[in-house]
A = this chain, B = another copy of it.
Amino acid sequence: MIMKDKKQGLLIVISGPSGTGKGTLCLELLRRQKFVKVSVSCTTRAPRPGETEGISYFFRTREEFEHLIKNDQMLEWVEFCGNFYGTPRFAVQQLLEAGYDVVLEIDIQGAHQVKQHYPEGVFIFIAPPSVAVLSQRIHDRGTESEEIIRERLAKAIQEMNCLSEYDYLVVNDEILNGVDKLQSIIIAEKCRVKRNCPYFKGDIK
């Protein structure tokens, strides 16, 4: 009946429309929680000067990458400017087994792929408090034309329809508040009965 201290970590998928501040949330979460790590991605693009295998990326040939996809070894992947980028299962699994929680900050399409390959993950949707706030945030960056902003807002609204695929909704109204919620979700998920099966099937007899 003794709780195992060294349990496998959680895969935490943080996604949501562009401009909702999910990147900032993740950075603050990583800063606060030393048991939360990001996993190293895999790519077919050539290493740039200063990049190190296994730290910057896992660099693979196109054939190797395709082999990983075929063997269900990529939790998610995308082709961008002629190169593949993705999250290899082995890198995530290694961290999880060492007891770390692994955070993936990815777009809606990526999260959808991870859900197919790793449904036991914790899927968190980051949303803006309102369309007006999201619009303001994108405007404030000052890097996009009005047309692009309109397109991004339309896409964000469309992406909200994917919410039902997620476990949690965190409305990112204020960064510290949002990270508090992420931390609570992680603690609560570790208490879920379904993640503690050995406890009641185990050594209480």
Q: B-contacting residues of A (Cβ < 8 Å)?
A: 1-3, 124-125, 127-131, 157, 160-161, 163-164, 166-171, 173, 180-181, 183-185, 187-189, 191-193, 196, 199-200, 204-205
Task: Tell me the nearest residue of chain B to A197, going by C-beta.
Answer: B164
A191–B168 CB distance below 8 A: yes
Q: In the complex, which residues of chain B have a beta carbon less than 8 angstroms from the beta carbon of A184?
A: 183-185, 187-188, 191
A-B contact pairs, 20 of them (CB 8 A): A1-B130, A1-B160, A2-B129, A2-B130, A157-B205, A160-B200, A160-B204, A161-B200, A163-B193, A163-B200, A164-B193, A167-B193, A169-B192, A169-B193, A170-B191, A171-B199, A184-B184, A184-B185, A184-B191, A188-B188
B169–A196 CB distance below 8 A: yes
B187–A129 CB distance below 8 A: no
| Contact of A204 (CB < 8 Å), options: B131, B166, B171, B196 | B131
Q: In the complex, which residues of chain B have a beta carbon less than 8 angstroms from the beta carbon of A166?
A: 193
Q: In the complex, which residues of chain B have a beta carbon less than 8 angstroms from the beta carbon of A180?
A: 187
A3–B171 CB distance below 8 A: yes
